[in-house]
Amino acid sequence: MKDPRNALEVEGLGMVFDVSASWLNRVVERKPRRYLRAVDDVTFAVPRGGCLALVGESGCGKSTVARLVTGLYRPTSGTVAFAPGRDGAPLAAQMIFQDPYASLNPRWRVGDIVAEPIRELRLRETEADVTDRVADLLRTVGLSPDDMAKFPHEFSGGQRQRISIARALASEPEFLVCDEPTSALDVSVQAQILNLMRRLQDELVLTYLFISHDLSVVRHMSDRIAVMYLGRIVEEAETEALFDAPQHPYTRLLLETIPDLHAPRRRRAAPGGEPPSPLAPPPGCAFNPRCPVAMPVCRTDRPAETARCGAGRVACHAAAATASAA
């Protein structure tokens, strides 16, 4: 940990998946092994009490970063370092997933789902104290203590996400990794869950790594935004700076495709087509086939990350040229 003000520091993180056919198929069909680089040299930090958003199209590696950060995967390269928490042990992190139904055991009552981490970690001594704590947690997320007796299928999508949040909070984490927590919900319900998460962050002094494919969702959640493309961070900046003056052509593309709130039906088509397959990334800058300002160097040389004035960074030959001309 280089800066004690950070809750999390991730450095040079890489994840390569072996996606080869089975041994038999490889031998019979003479297929080579195949590797997919899902996360490539990703570096970022999240200050204590802050919220960093990780944004990019589906398949760019966001969930893989979330799983690496929470220890569900072991990285191929790089490091993940949490600051010491209140008790001196590394900060406890919990994850909230996109699909609350899949992450809640359907055969368990809500009371047991939320109580499990409390019992497991022996955070309360008696069963009566466990029940009190579960009741408190349900109230905290806007549910009723009476909901303890119910099963997950008796709730709406938004309520189920509240149950997942209560369960995540049950282990008293200081850090939450939220992987598209509202993407499966209706727009009106999304806003309620986002407001709840913002309130919890203030009240419980939580630190968030907040993942979404949608810039408009993270705008009001995050202090800083890191934009990912094909496994790499291509731009990182303070939220307002990113919206006011996006430096990377891909960030500009994402901003252009945010649905217009005043004309929601007029959803602009994704310009420049789809992202390439991470199994065969283009040489040079991975964004070059879609980039409206690509130059010859973009097809041969991968742009290095450059710091620019202010606290942001960007990986783009064109942005670097503008910065050095200024």
- Structure tokens belonging to residue 276: 């390439």
83 binds, options ligand SF4, Mg ion, ligand ADP, none, Cβ within 5 to 8 A by partner type: none
Which listed range, 52-60, 146-154, 166-174, 238-246, lies at the site for ligand ADP (CB under 6 A)?
A: 52-60
Supply φ then ψ for residue 45, to 5 degrees: -135, 150
Residue with the two structure tokens 């349900």: 138
β-partners of residue 237 are 225
Question: Burial of 145 by CB count in 10 Å (0-12 exposed, 13-18 middle, 19+ buried)?
Answer: middle
Which listed range, 94-102, 238-246, 264-272, 315-323, lies at the site for ligand SF4 (CB under 6 A)?
A: 315-323
Q: Is 242 in the site for ligand SF4 (CB under 6 A)?
A: no
β-partners of residue 82 are 8
Among 291, 308, 312, 313, binds ligand SF4 (CB under 6 A): 291
Q: Is 288 in the site for ligand SF4 (CB under 6 A)?
A: yes
Do residues 152 and 160 touch, judged by C-beta distance below 8 A?
A: yes
Which listed range, 51-59, 182-190, 265-273, 281-289, lies at the site for ligand SF4 (CB under 6 A)?
A: 281-289
Q: Is 243 in the site for ligand ADP (CB under 6 A)?
A: no
Question: What single letter denotes the amino acid at residue 35?
Answer: Y
- Across the beta sheet with 51-55, the strand order is 93-96, 175-179, 207-212, 51-55, 224-229, 232-238, 313-314, 306-307
Q: Is 64 in the site for Mg ion (CB under 5 A)?
A: no
Q: Is 175 in the site for ligand SF4 (CB under 6 A)?
A: no
| Run of H or E residues at 234 | strand 232-238
- Structure tokens belonging to residue 14: 């890489």
Q: Which value, in Å, is the radius of gyration of the alpha carbons in the chain?
A: 21
Among 75, 249, 281, 312, binds ligand SF4 (CB under 6 A): 249
Which listed range, 34-42, 145-153, 163-171, 314-322, lies at the site for ligand SF4 (CB under 6 A)?
A: 314-322
Judged by CB under 6 A, the number of residues near ligand SF4 is 14
Q: Is 63 in the site for Mg ion (CB under 5 A)?
A: yes
Q: Is 313 in the site for ligand ADP (CB under 6 A)?
A: no
x-or-dash string of contact with Mg ion, 107-146, rule CB under 5 A = ----------------------------------------
Q: Is 63 in the site for ligand ADP (CB under 6 A)?
A: yes
Which listed range, 58-66, 95-103, 112-120, 189-197, lies at the site for ligand ADP (CB under 6 A)?
A: 58-66
Q: Is 17 in the site for ligand ADP (CB under 6 A)?
A: yes
In the chain, % helix, strand, coil (3-state, to 5) comes to 35, 20, 40
Residue with the two structure tokens 């991470």: 278
Residue with the two structure tokens 């995050």: 222
6 binds, options ligand SF4, ligand ADP, Mg ion, none, Cβ within 5 to 8 A by partner type: none
Compare residues 148 and 228 and give the one whose CB is closer to ligand ADP.
228
Angle, nearest 10°, between helix axes 110-120 and 127-140?
120
d(CA 50, CA 53): 10
d(CA 173, CA 68): 17
Q: Which residues bind ligand SF4 (CB under 6 A)?
A: 248-249, 285, 287-288, 291, 293-295, 298, 303, 316-318
Q: Which residues bind ligand ADP (CB under 6 A)?
A: 17, 19, 36, 38, 56, 58-64, 278
